[in-house]
Structure 1
């Protein structure tokens, strides 16, 4: 685990982590030996964590605190189903910044919201800002900082604050801090409102065809923890506990439809920080529930 910068406080902790790593390694070997899967798992920066530790330290989506948005509805009046392209990738279109890492802070909600705001700002203005997650952690009183929150919390805060600062102005610390009002007043981007997407993959498709979209997702499964590539259709976990951004969709070479999601676990997880996850599943909520609580900002 040295390649991931992991250090341990004493020999006892190092031995405990070694034992956990060995169990996770066996899980990976067993999964790989089972064959006939559309995705792969492998060693990553979470391989010395139990699944419970992983969930506690690297998620942070509080679905039970879902607020009402300024208005709700589908995007059918803006983007008819027939006009939705077969595929889209907002990364390739220049509307997505480099992958970030939330660290051991349950701030996924802030990273998801910031990426969505960065995306719509680029689409509207041609300028892709790098915005501050830490401002949301410190200043958004609707959320709970590193203990969790929702992208909708963040959108509400940005609207009421009349904007959000840049990452350079208000840099990420990965811990709860006191709101710095002078930094928070230096807006680098603004939004007018936000909309909640009606549940279901069809409505999510219309939204993602327009811009990157924040979604809640069940990410607590061990297969999700160890994902290393391919189109994911494995163990998600039991409930929505994480927030990511859907930045595109398409179809793989073998004909499997997928969503492309941008995570906030650094570039060593998944496909350089991204995941392709199966699209067009039987569940009305989408794979891992990603089509059940989605929202997007309006600039």
Structure 2
């Protein structure tokens, strides 16, 4: 792991005392590529991001947490409960993807939370000791069955090599039980599920720079980005303004705002709990904390409809079925649209 000393904070950020050092939750490039992950990878040579219309100017203030009076953001989570786990790389990516699913569903129905634990158990993209920005979306895209919901594989903040807390006493291998499970009444064993609600990715890509970030967020939803988290470890409010050159953490960016003094700033959701910062969020000045160096996006594909007993997959925008209507006809099959079949979900790494 990387560690570095923290220099003084710039003005304009409300903080308590800051710890002198912080360990990176991002693996070095050599370790990332050894896992089979493509550094700054795209799902194709020309992605749909390239064809998005770029506006001459964007609104001064824009956030998916309050777009035309509707909140499309899913809750801010805490990666360090029930014990410390350096899984920001999974939390940041999956929170942004869950937001995009909510956007595709027009904020109808219950918010979903994708299973970070499934990714820790099976993704071969990182662990509680670190991961990468690129790994999560690449892994989900490679799995026909996608990723399960947290309701069938809850977060335990453990991975195979974890020794903290209860982790040393658990099994974190990629077994059916550790993909999706349910448990019977008292005295009955828990069992792995052969079908489970899931989410899949149609396309993913890598971007950098403020204009590309605005274009992607405005057109399609929140994105995951790397950041220097040391200066905001004890953040309580205001706009973080410190210049940085290194990153050690992954977050999701849900929008932006402007203020007379600092100009453009990003609205960032962290994964340290809602007691941290501004209800789990931090404002970061454009150009600060190396936030604009590396970001990842993904477009959502299909989900299995729990309302229809997971009998078929629906497109996320609902164009091929309406799960709320019991009499709806079964939609035509779509290539890549899969129920959560375990033998496909257990494909392991990339």
TM-score bin (small chain): 0.7 to 0.9
Aligned with 2:134: secondary structure? helix
The unaligned stretches of length 5 or more in structure 1 are: 1-23, 280-285
Tell me which moved more, 157-166 or 183-192.
183-192
> What residue in structure 2 maps to residue 205 of structure 1?
214
Match of residue 192, structure 1, among 182, 193, 202: 202
> What residue in structure 2 maps to residue 80 of structure 1?
54
Bigger CA radius of gyration: 2
The unaligned stretches of length 5 or more in structure 2 are: 1-5, 33-38, 160-171, 181-194, 301-350
- 1:217–1:243 contact (8 Å) kept in structure 2: yes
* Deviation at residue 41 of structure 1 after TM alignment: 0.6
Residues 68 and 254 of structure 1, relative CA distance in 2, 3 Å threshold: closer
Give the Cα–Cα distance (whole angstroms) in 1 for the partners of residues 138 and 87 of structure 2: 16
> What residue in structure 1 maps to residue 121 of structure 2?
138
Aligned with 1:179: secondary structure? coil
> What residue in structure 2 maps to residue 117 of structure 1?
97
* Deviation at residue 68 of structure 1 after TM alignment: 2.1
Aligned with 1:288: secondary structure? coil
> What residue in structure 1 maps to residue 280 of structure 2?
273
Residues 133 and 292 of structure 1, relative CA distance in 2, 3 Å threshold: same
TM-score normalised per structure 2? 0.64
Give the Cα–Cα distance (whole angstroms) in 2 for the partners of residues 216 and 253 of structure 1: 26
Give the Cα–Cα distance (whole angstroms) in 2 for the partners of residues 132 and 138 of structure 1: 10
Specify which structure has the higher proportion of strand: 2
> What residue in structure 2 maps to residue 259 of structure 1?
266
Give the Cα–Cα distance (whole angstroms) in 2 for the partners of residues 166 and 188 of structure 1: 6
> What residue in structure 1 maps to residue 13 of structure 2?
39
Aligned with 2:239: secondary structure? strand
Match of residue 102, structure 1, among 73, 79, 100: 79
TM-score normalised per structure 1? 0.75
Give the Cα–Cα distance (whole angstroms) in 2 for the partners of residues 175 and 80 of structure 1: 41
Give the Cα–Cα distance (whole angstroms) in 2 for the partners of residues 255 and 207 of structure 1: 23
* Deviation at residue 235 of structure 1 after TM alignment: 6.1
- 1:159–1:190 contact (8 Å) kept in structure 2: yes
Give the Cα–Cα distance (whole angstroms) in 1 for the partners of residues 136 and 117 of structure 2: 11
- 2:262–2:285 contact (8 Å) kept in structure 1: no
Q: Does 1:227 align with 2:235?
A: yes
1:284-299 maps to which residues of 2 (within 5 A)? Answer: 286-299=287-300
Give the Cα–Cα distance (whole angstroms) in 2 for the partners of residues 213 and 139 of structure 1: 23
Give the Cα–Cα distance (whole angstroms) in 1 for the partners of residues 260 and 74 of structure 2: 26
Q: What does the per-residue CA deviation read over 1:75-95, in whole Å, with 9 as the maximum and x for residues that have no partner? A: 353132226333211122422
Give the Cα–Cα distance (whole angstroms) in 2 for the partners of residues 174 and 251 of structure 1: 36
* Deviation at residue 60 of structure 1 after TM alignment: 1.4
- Count of paired positions: 248
Specify which structure has the higher proportion of helix: 1
RMSD: 2.6
- 2:64–2:71 contact (8 Å) kept in structure 1: yes
